[in-house]
Amino acid sequence: MNPDVWLAAVLGAALGASIVAIALRRKQRKEIIASTLVPHRTRQLLSVLQSGAVIVRRDRRAAFVNNPAAAIGVARPDGALLPAIADLAELAWKHSEAVEEEITVKRGVLGVTSQVHVRAVPLDSDLVLAVVNDHTEARIAEQSRREFAVNVSHELKTPVGALSLLAESIEEGADDEHMVRSFAGKMRKEARRLTKLIQEIIEISRLQGGESVLDYEDVHIADVIAEALDGASLTAESKNITLTADVKTDPMVMGDRDLLLMALRNLVDNAVHYSDPGKRVTVSCKTEDGTVSIAVVDQGIGIDPKDQERIFERFFRTDPARSRDSGGTGLGLSIVKHVALQHAGTVDVWSQRGVGSTFTLRLQEHGVDPEIQGEK
Ligand code: ADP
């Protein structure tokens, strides 16, 4: 080979090898930078957090996104980031300290929104850690508690106001024995309503407190039905309403007897209150595939379809005057719903205006326990 060609070949090979070596070194350096941006250990640590965690880069993209953050919808594993989080990260860099903000996140095709709390902490001049917590449920619970407190004070004002007016009237008409007796009777009625209201407010606060409040025991459902009907018999008699039981079995339920009795009493009382004289109220019970269904059937005034899903809300009444007149508090069905929930059961309604209503309470029959289901 010509020495010049030989030299050129050697030089070319050497140049090629050094270009490849430089490229390799660059690639390695890039990988090292990437892994030093968010080291493996840090990724592992952030991956086990329950809160969302996003590491934000200067270029407004995410260097790391843990699963909860992706689920909340603030960032994607490919680095795409919600602009509001990138803005917050810039603010954190600017002030060189942690900053916090509530952000509304829209998720999914339905555009469901959630309120998230974000705390952005600058880690160094290139990275910010954003910790994200979804507060939507807590906010709904808080709002519901606030509404409940407002409703309770409003509901308490009515009987208390009535009592004070009646007391004033008695004072003014003290000489008229007939009037005094009549007002005293009305005061007793209001006091009874107030007592019931206070008892039910305490009960519902306990039931919806979150933790289980059940005193578990074996409950004979036939006994509970008999007792509920017995408790309503005086009122039914005074309205000429016939109470009947259609109970051919005596299934057992593992639960809280007092709570189950209270729920059934509420259903039977309602059936009597919202029926005209001469009608019939029947409580039936059957078991099928391990489910005990207790149905309270009336031939009463019925409930409009638009109100049927609202009647289980606290203080909801279709006719407030009729409800108050019968000593109703608007809490009865809400208590029934919570008792069912506490027993992992359900309550639902079928109703037609002018025909009647059927409320069905479904509970798990004891001894026919379903498979334990659930996920960690
Ligand atoms: P209340 O103390 O007013 O009866 P509930 O929570 O027990 O409160 O019931 C809520 C509302 O549902 C009642 O005010 C009434 O309008 C309606 N309702 C409940 N049960 C019946 C029924 N059996 N027939 C017709 N309406 C009913």
Sequence spans of domains, the chain: 1-36, 40-134, 215-376
Chosen CATH of 40-134 out of 1.10.3470.10, 3.40.190.10, 3.10.20.740, 3.30.450.20 = 3.30.450.20
Note the pLDDT of residue 54: 95
Mutate to test the pocket of ligand 1, among 207, 264, 323, 335 (most ligand atoms within 8 A of CB): 323
CATH code reported for the domain at 215-376:
3.30.565.10
Give CA–CA dist 200/195, Å, rounded.
9
Give CA–CA dist 31/37, Å, rounded.
10
Give CA–CA dist 65/140, Å, rounded.
27
Mutate to test the pocket of ligand 1, among 158, 311, 335, 338 (most ligand atoms within 8 A of CB): 311
Ligand 1 centroid to Cα of residue 131, in Å, is: 46
Q: What is the pLDDT of residues 340-365, one digit of tens each?
A: 988 889 999 999 999 999 999 999 89
Residues of the chain falling short of pLDDT 50: 29-35, 372
For the residues of 189-221, what is the DSSP string, one character each?
HHHHHHHHHHHHHHHHHHHTSSS-----EEEEH
Whether ligand 1 lies within 6 angstroms of the CB of 311 is answered as: yes
Exposed, middle or buried, 123 (CB in 10 Å: 0-12/13-18/19+)? middle
Note the pLDDT of residue 29: 47
